[in-house]
Amino acid sequence: MNTELYIARQLIQKQTPNFSRTIIRISVLSVVIGLAVMLLSVAIVTGFKKQISEKVTGFAAHIQINKFDSNSSFEATPIVYSDSLRDGLKSIEGVIHVQSVATKAGIMQSKDDILGIVLKGVDVEYSSDFFKHSIVSGRFPNIEKENISDEILISKSIANKLRLALSDTVRVYFLNNTETAARGRRLFVSGIYETSIEEFDDSFVLADQRHVQNLNNWNRNQVSAIEVFVSDFDHLDDMTNRIYAKLGYNLNATNVKEMYPQLFDWLALQDINVIVILSLMLLIASVSMISTLLVLILERTATIGILKALGTTNSSIRKIFLYQAAFIVVRGLFWGNLLGIGLALIQKYFGLVKLDQANYYMSEVPINLDFISILALNLLSLTIIVLFMLIPSYIVTKITPVSAIRYE
């Protein structure tokens, strides 16, 4: 039988004085609030990172393959998207999807206004799952193999600026370097999407890829870029290098972190905020528990003296009080989990806390609850707080049986 654990349980169950009872409640409350804040901080930050990463990669894919001489004017030198290139990319372990896109800048004209846009042409192999979740009204353009579709998907931002609605007809004009006259296309709005990322929403319109190919006088196997999706985002740099090694001398592979560094650098800064919050909460909870342990030791001075007179070692007595403190911490962790996870679930399913989309790329605070993270936070809190309590437990070694029992 674990004697120290048994004595600690008896001391916990025994009625304690009002002062120590108040101190214990304050300590439990500090652990509850500290853990709840830590759980919410991690859930919110990981939710931010996950949702923004999904939006960027859903729109631009994980890795893009372009010609080395491509520029940023959306008038890229075409890539020959052959069957051998597609099959070679799909054969790379970790690649889950490959698709082609063709982009061209143009001017969109409604009845009253005009606006510069980028037409992003896609084909039947394009993965539209992200846009289907981002569509606020209408549907994704119906792109078939046989006939060129005149349907387009525009953003809510473009729709508001040009005063467009579903089923409206618009004309889009394009220029070629080899032609002096503008080419026009009459297109129909089949859907309206919203990603809340201005760089996408203010510019991009999705349409049938064959429109761009015809406007650029390209063949059906010529595209602006090849987009690649991979299974493991954490090893994106390694996958980029592996894909680049499979390409020809005139092609380059760039991952989404390199294409949008400012966005991912901003996300990386959020980790620092979490570290600061975790450190502060653990420090506050640890200091509170140190105070509680000191009170428990001082109130049980006579008990310590009796145990020492009976031959109990200092290490055993220290264990007794550490077990007591651990019981208090575990109680605080239990209620902290209920509070933190409860608030996170309320926000996740009801979205009570709203955000400014212009600044945060989403309309409400995102939540990402992960069992591993929750378990790690609980273990980290328990371990660090108990380690902090080793320091005040050394007071036990300074108490002698004679002086302790004399004042009983």
- Number of structural domains (the chain) is 2
Report the distance separating Cα 406 and Cα 408, nearest Å. Answer: 6
Which position has the higher pLDDT, 72 or 92?
92
Report the distance separating Cα 146 and Cα 181, nearest Å. Answer: 29
Stated pTM of the model:
0.83
Q: 118 and 25, same structural domain? A: no
Identity (one letter) of the amino acid at 191?
A: G
pLDDT in tens, 257-316: 999 998 898 888 888 888 999 999 999 888 888 888 888 787 777 777 777 777 778 888
- Is residue 108 a part of any domain in this protein? yes
pLDDT classification of 367: cutoffs 50, 70, 90: very high
Q: 143 and 18, same structural domain? A: no
User: What's the average model confidence in pLDDT over 3-12?
Assistant: 75
**Residue pointed to by tokens 């005009």:** 114
Q: 129 and 88, same structural domain? A: yes
Report the distance separating Cα 63 and Cα 256, nearest Å. Answer: 6
pLDDT classification of 148: cutoffs 50, 70, 90: very high
Q: 355 and 240, same structural domain? A: no
Q: 393 and 286, same structural domain? A: yes
- Is residue 259 a part of any domain in this protein? no
Maximum CA pair distance of the chain? 106
Which position has the higher pLDDT, 398 or 239?
239
**Strand 63-67 relative to strand 251-255, pairing:** antiparallel
pLDDT classification of 61: cutoffs 50, 70, 90: very high
Single residue among 224, 249, 274 that ends a domain in this structure = 249
Count of residues in the chain: 408
Q: 163 and 95, same structural domain? A: yes
Residue 136 zone, left/alpha/beta (φ > 0; ψ -120 to 50; rest): alpha
Q: 30 and 135, same structural domain? A: no
Q: Which of 14-23, 157-166, 293-302 has the highest mean pLDDT?
A: 157-166
249's tokens = 């001398």
Q: 228 and 110, same structural domain? A: yes
Q: 91 and 239, same structural domain? A: yes
Identity (one letter) of the amino acid at 228?
A: V
Give which of 276, 344, 383 is closest to 36, Cα–Cα.
344
Percentage of the chain beyond pLDDT 90 is: 56
Single residue among 225, 249, 273 that ends a domain in this structure = 249
Q: Check residue 292 and give its pLDDT.
A: 83
pLDDT classification of 16: cutoffs 50, 70, 90: low
pLDDT classification of 140: cutoffs 50, 70, 90: very high
90's tokens = 């799909």
Q: What residue numbers bound the domain in which 390 lies?
A: 3-55+264-406
